[in-house]
Amino acid sequence: MVRKATIARAEERDISQVVELIFHLDAHVSGAPREVLKMTPEGERQLAGHFRSFLHNPYKLLLVARSARARVVGMGDIALWMQAEVWETPERQGQWYGIIDDVWVEPEYRGQGLSRLIVVELAAFARSHGVESLQLEYSTSNEEAARTWNRMGFRPVGVRAAASASEVLALLKSDETPS
């Protein structure tokens, strides 16, 4: 059975459901069950505030996919940024780019092109502001995301590595040799 959903700009009434979808996305990427993912009440308020910042900022857009019963079943957002003026090369000075983030569609609503529709709207938002360059990141362990983004024309251009500061310090200090 195909479950229908429509894409729209997020509204205040959607924020708590958007926060819940972030937990679903995190559970998918981390492999942890949703039930074990917890956040402090203050953390949830901050996360809700982060998503509220998209509602009235002309350089941000938060989209939701709503089911026929107004349940938020998908989401995606974009923030437009200007390249820092530290670059000496003229082609990079003042260049705008869009960062796509948090694209997620609940499993029971997949297969009907909702992710594609969300990304089309996000890219159109960027283009309406004169932005050509789009960027995003996803976990290398998320093979489904890699395939999806590749189908949409995104190609890896760099590596973002992560490490624990404690582990880095321990490794580097153990390699220290007195001079």
- CATH number for the region 5-174 comes to 3.40.630.30
Q: How far apart are CA 120 and CA 75, in angstroms?
A: 13
Q: How many residues does the chain have?
A: 179
The pLDDT value given to residue 141: 83
Q: What pLDDT was estimated at residue 3?
A: 73
Q: What is the pTM of this model?
A: 0.84
Average pLDDT over residues 121-128: 98
pLDDT at 140 over 90: no
List the domain boundaries for the chain: 5-174
pLDDT of residue 177: 54
Residue type for position 115? S
| pLDDT of 89 | 62
Mean pLDDT of the region 154-159: 88
pLDDT over threshold 80, residue 147: yes
CA atoms of 126 and 131, how far apart (whole Å): 5
| 51-108 tens-digit pLDDT | 999 999 999 999 999 998 889 999 999 999 987 665 556 666 668 899 999 999 999 9
pLDDT of residue 37: 86
Choose between 139 and 154: higher pLDDT: 154
